[in-house]
């Protein structure tokens, strides 16, 4: 399932229901339609848990936030041990280019959560931005940090 992604392979639970494929989301504990974006989410979350040491219990998928009086959903939010949000992740399907528009979207979500890291991935390219609030700057990291480094 992840052969076409730039992520380690993993074997998700797939089910066919009414002629459509669904994937088990172990974070939300639900079957969800297996869209290309969901494929990226499940592969990336597996990577975070199995290769970067992120506890599954500290990951929230489809995290609701309120932005300018409107309900929005972050694709994933990672929390630290104290329950504070540390990372927002935005997933796109592999055929979607990661553009300034995508960075603008995740930046708007960060107006609410004020996290230390922003990650955007389409499963092929992964961008991780470290926010540096005291200076008002940010920097692109070469790799996704391990959970222990947050």
- How does pLDDT run across 40-78, given as a tens digit for each residue? 999 999 999 999 999 999 999 999 999 888 899 999 999
Residue 130: partners with Cβ closer than 8 Å, 6 or more residues away: 116, 117, 138, 139, 140, 141
Q: How far is CA 36 from CA 23, 70, 96, 131, in A?
A: 11, 26, 10, 28
| E-only strand ranges, 39-125 | 59-67, 70-79, 85-91, 117-121
Q: Determine the pLDDT at residue 2.
A: 59
What's the longest Cα–Cα distance across the chain? 53
- What percent of the chain is predicted at pLDDT more than 70? 98
The pTM (predicted TM-score) of the whole model is 0.94
Alpha-carbon torsion (22, 23, 24, 30), positive or negative? negative
Rounded to an integer, what distance in angstroms lies between the CA atom of residue 5 and that of residue 114? 29
Rounded to an integer, what distance in angstroms lies between the CA atom of residue 137 and that of residue 60? 27
Q: Determine the pLDDT at residue 136.
A: 85
**Mean pLDDT confidence for 118-145:** 95
Could you please state the CATH topology (level 3) that the domain comprising 14-144 is classified under: tt1808, chain A (3.90.1570)
């Amino acid at each position: 399932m992840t052969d076409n992604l730039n992520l380690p392979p993993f074997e998700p639970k797939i089910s066919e229901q009414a002629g459509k494929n669904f994937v088990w989301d172990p974070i939300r504990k639900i079957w969800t339609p297996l869209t290309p974006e969901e494929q990226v989410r499940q592969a990336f979350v597996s990577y975070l848990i199995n290769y970067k040491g992120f506890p599954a219990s500290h990951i929230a998928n489809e995290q609701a936030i309120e932005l300018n009086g409107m309900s929005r959903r972050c694709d994933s939010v990672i929390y630290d041990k104290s329950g504070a949000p540390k990372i927002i992740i935005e997933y796109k399907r592999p055929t979607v280019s990661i553009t300034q528009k995508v960075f603008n979207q995740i930046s708007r979500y960060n107006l609410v959560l004020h996290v230390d890291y922003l990650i955007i991935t389409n499963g092929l390219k992964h961008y991780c931005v470290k926010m540096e609030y005291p200076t008002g700057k940010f920097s692109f990291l070469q790799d996704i940090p391990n959970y222990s480094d947050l």
